[in-house]
Structure 1
Amino acid sequence: MFYGFILKRKLAFAGFVALVIIATTLQNITPYFFKLFVDEIPKLNYPGLIKLLYMFIAVNISGLLFNIASFWVGDFVLFNSAKEARLKIFNYIQSLDFAFHTGKSTGSLISAFKRGDSAFFTLFFEIHHRILEIVVSAFVMFFFFLRLDIRIVLFAFLSVAVTLVVTKFIISFNIKKRSIFNEKEDEISGILTDNLINYETVKLFAKEKWEENRLKDKFVGWIKALWGYGNSFRLIDFSIGAVTNLGLFLILFVSLQNAVHLKLTVGDFVLVTTFVGLFFSKLWELVFSLRDIAKTYADIEIYFGLLDNEITVKDPEKPVKLGKVSGRINFNNVSFSYKDGKQDALKDFCLKIKKGESIALIGKSGSGKTTAVKLLMRFFDTTKGNITIDGIDIKNLNKDKLRSLMGVVPQEPILFNNTISYNIGYGLPAGKAGKENATLGEIKAVANLANI
């Protein structure tokens, strides 16, 4: 799914990958120039050294320009892909049934969006910049080492292989400790959120000290979990540090042997030490890149997993187009039961509403008044019977068309974080000029009618 959005721009993506490879290659042949400088200086060949200097600077500038171009093209692919992914998931969430939204925590949905979008950016950067650059760097290093001694290549390759194996286990341990800490952190956040929302209740019952002690008790487990999480990083430091230093020792040991036996020039030895110094520092980046990918993969799975929720209240394949609506509404032997409900919310319910008629549904709590309205809006589909408007089954109408015919005043209206004008105009039909939203004049007229 991730690459489904990325590869919508295949040519740009291919160009981006090519630019990353070229830029990384140019930026990682610096040690070879150091070797050439060191080997050339004893010859006292000043023109040759200046020529090398010009080439060295030209390669560095070229690497810089290709690197900037790779980020520009990569951002073009990333920004558009992230936007399209967010729009697709947002539109799909909007089309999901009322039952999904009532059964799903709003907070968890917001977190899924925020973490998922952040994971989209993180995965793109870690895979196509960090890891791809490390892989290219390794190939460049192996290429130059092959010309010196196959043992150097072998020890460098083994260092990378062992690092990857060790990384698999220590990252799993680190992620496990992170999950434990996040659970404790959520408990702390829950108490803080409860107090911020219910501050009036806390003050009314003089429970400030009790709430403080409740928070202190939760910090006991929080501190323990945080130490476990923090120590998992020390384990990473020790494990990867031991592997890289062992690899560094073996490579330099072989290089020193060759240098003593005049199988390597001083320039060759400088090339080896510079390459391993640069590359082994990148192994640390590789470890933490893989950790970030493992951490964010779960977030992006949840993000794209939102698209796996099934839409049960579907629009008809061939919707009926209503002309002028008179407003005759019939409930014909309607029965409905909520998911996991122990009894029917409505059973064999019949109701006829004539054109222009005003009615009120009266009954005790749980008798089905709200359910009847939700069924009329097609938030749910009936399990038996049907509902018609002007003799047309509402299942034969598009949901948005059906709901646009209704004017609803909810019991507990929720305002959008926007202007008063926006909130008043939200429920009004499109303006007379054919615009998507009501005009300011229409909004003012409604506000006057409501004495606002």
Structure 2
Amino acid sequence: GIARTGAAAFSELRNAVFAKVAQNSIRKIARNVFLHLHSLDLNFHLSRQTGALSKAIDRGSRGINFVMSALVFNVVPTIFEVSLVSGILAYKCGFEFAGVTVLSIATYAAFTLGITQWRTKFRIKMNKAENEAGNKAIDSLINYETVKYFNNEIHEADQYDKYQQKYERASLKTATSLALLNWGQNAIFSIALSAMMVLATKEIIAGHLTVGDLVMVNGLLFQLSLPLNFLGSVYREVRQALIDMQTMFTLMKQPAAITEVDSCAPPVSLL
């Protein structure tokens, strides 16, 4: 009971400390982006979509928070756990078990990377359609009087629905490809688990392992499957977060037509 309470306390303390650091960094970055947008000339803002800019900043800020938390709470602990499990299996059962573990993880990672790269284009199209729909809605509501004056509500609704249809198609492709990715990940782990059980059974028959070792191998693999399954989801979300961050940081690279300087030359006296 004391150990469980202590573990929960340290976990919450970790979240609290990380939140303070992460939120402070995100606030400063968002402020810099906001100031940079104000430093750009009028032509940039007239040619840009206000709703899309707002969504880009919001998603970029959330992306920074997710990437930082994923690295600290998921990626590094998972790498440590995989290394620890592989070492235990190599020491207790043999290098064949560790080899199967490493090979299955490598296959899992390669499959996840390949499918995720393929899925990225669907996610980009979905974001683009969402930006267009949001911009259309905001611009239409801002120009409410003009829309009402020309009795143009149906046309505006049709235009908004057109962008929503694009978002729907991209979202369906994203969901379908996600189902394929999840199925492939489960299939890879199931094959690896079956191979480990066959190896363990042969070693038991040969008298090199006991039934307890078989239970240990099974338990370690299932323990390893939890962060691996979560790691797949984290990788997909990190990819999306990086795309959102790239969109926001692209705004920071937008050059200003007029650059203000901090100091100016002293005025020249004409007398």
TM-score range, shorter chain: 0.7 to 0.9
Q: Secondary structure at the match of 2:207?
A: coil
- Whether contact under 8 Å (2:52, 2:131) holds in the other structure is no
Q: Which residue of 2 aligns with 1:134?
A: 78
Q: In structure 1, what is the equivalent of residue 19 of structure 2?
A: 75
Contact 2:189–2:225, Cα closer than 8 Å, also in 1? yes
Instruction: Report the TM-score when normalising by structure 2.
Output: 0.81
Q: Kindly provide the CA deviation profile for residues 341-382 of structure 1, in whole angstroms up to 9, marking residues without a partner as x.
A: xxxxxxxxxxxxxxxxxxxxxxxxxxxxxxxxxxxxxxxxxx
Could you tell me which of 113, 120, 132 is aligned with 2:57? 113
- The residue identity in structure 1 corresponding to 2:89 is F
How much does 1:232 deviate?
A: 0.8
Structure 1 segments, 4+ long, off by >6 Å, are none
Does the CA contact (< 8 Å) of 1:244 and 1:280 recur in 2? yes
SS of 2:261 mapped into structure 1: coil
| 1:275 Cα offset (Å) | 1.3
Q: 1:270 to 1:61 in 2, by over 3 A?
A: farther
Q: More helix by proportion, 1 or 2?
A: 2
Letter in 1 for 2:188: V
Aligned position for 1:6: none
| CA distance in structure 2 between the partners assigned to 1:190 and 1:250 by the alignment | 53
* Superposition deviation, residue 184 in structure 1: 3.6
Partner of 1:149: 94
Name the CA distance, whole Å, in 2 between partners of 1:258 and 1:93: 66
> Which one of 308, 313, 321 corresponds to residue 259 of structure 2?
313
CA contact under 8 A between 1:97 and 1:313: conserved in structure 2? no
Structure 2 residue 67 is matched with structure 1 residue 123: yes
Partners of 2:88 and 2:229 lie apart in 1 by 22
Change (3 A) 1:152 1:213: same
Deviation string, structure 1 residues 310-344 (Cα, Å, up to 9, x no partner): 45423254553x8xxxxxxxxxxxxxxxxxxxxxx
CA contact (8 A) 1:159 1:247 kept: yes
Residues 59 and 244, structure 2, Cα contact 8 Å, conserved in 1: yes
Give the aligned residue type for 2:241: T
Offset, 1:206: 4.4
Task: Count the aligned residue pairs.
Answer: 268
Does the C-alpha gap of structure 1 residues 155 and 235 become closer, same or farther in structure 2, counting only changes over 3 Å?
same
- How far off is 1:300 after superposition? 1.7
Distance 1:233 1:141, change over 3 A: same
Within-5 A mapping of 1:262-281: 262-281=207-226
Amino acid at match of 2:15: F
Name which of 181, 185, 197 aligns with 1:236.
181
- CA apart distance, 1:186: 4.1
Relative to structure 1, the CA distance from residue 225 to residue 84 in structure 2 (aligned partners, 3 Å threshold; closer, same or farther) is: closer
CA RMSD after TM alignment? 3.2
Identical amino acids, percent of aligned pairs: 21
Greater RCO, 1 or 2 (C-alpha within 8 Å, sep 6+):
2
Q: Kindly indicate whether residue 194 of structure 2 is the aligned counterpart of residue 249 of structure 1.
A: yes
Name stretches of at least 5 consecutive residues in structure 1 with no aligned partner. Answer: 1-56, 323-387, 392-452
The whole-number CA distance in structure 2 between the counterparts of 1:201 and 1:98 is 23
Check the 8 A contact 2:63/2:241 in 1, yes or no: yes
Q: Distance in 1 between matches of 2:200 and 2:43?
A: 68
Taking structure 1 as the reference length, what is the TM-score of the superposition? Answer: 0.52
Distance 1:284 1:96, change over 3 A: same
Deviations 1:21-66 (A, max 9, x none): xxxxxxxxxxxxxxxxxxxxxxxxxxxxxxxxxxxx7766665454
Q: Give me the whole-angstrom Cα distance separating, in 2, the residues matched to 1:253 and 1:128.
A: 36
Taking structure 1 as reference, are residues 212 and 87 closer, same or farther at Cα in structure 2, changes over 3 Å only? Answer: closer
Higher gyration radius (CA): 1
- Unaligned runs of 5+ residues in structure 2 are none
Structure 1: distance between partners of 2:166 and 2:42: 38
1:124 deviates by 0.3
| Aligned equivalent of 1:289 | 234
State the distance in 1 between where 2:155 and 2:27 align.
46
